[in-house]
């Protein structure tokens, strides 16, 4: 059985939005293949262009899930900002409503 679909930004369950994107590398490794799912909160930040707030949200969620990462918060924030910058460069269209888990998200 496959894992439930989660927001590709902060890991929230049951994301309702998806963004088509080209495959891309970040920091010399394959970072993304195809589209990205987004929860309501992350999609709202993306649509408003609030990139810094999005990166902070992602890192906050990471630290809740993995408290030991709090000591590396600055590194996590820089990494999230870089990977998300690559996401924004490789987006291929507008956000689309999606029922998580149904159909492919690849562009």
List pLDDT tens digits, range 73-89. Answer: 999 999 999 999 999 99
List pLDDT tens digits, range 4-19. Answer: 899 999 999 999 999 9
Judge residue 38's burial from the number of C-beta atoms within 10 Å of its C-beta, 0-12 exposed, 13-18 middle, 19 or more buried: buried
The rounded distance, in Å, linking the Cα atoms of 84 and 49 is 12
């Amino acid at each position: 059985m496959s894992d439930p679909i989660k927001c590709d930004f902060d890991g929230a369950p049951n994301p309702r939005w998806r963004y088509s994107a080209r495959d891309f590398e970040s920091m010399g490794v394959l970072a993304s293949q195809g589209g990205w799912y987004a929860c309501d909160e992350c999609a709202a930040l993306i649509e408003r262009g609030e990139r810094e707030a999005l990166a902070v949200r992602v890192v906050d969620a990471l630290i809740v899930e993995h408290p030991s990462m709090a000591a590396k918060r600055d590194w996590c924030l820089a990494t999230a900002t870089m990977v998300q910058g690559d996401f924004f460069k490789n987006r291929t269209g507008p956000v689309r409503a999606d029922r998580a888990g149904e159909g492919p998200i690849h562009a």
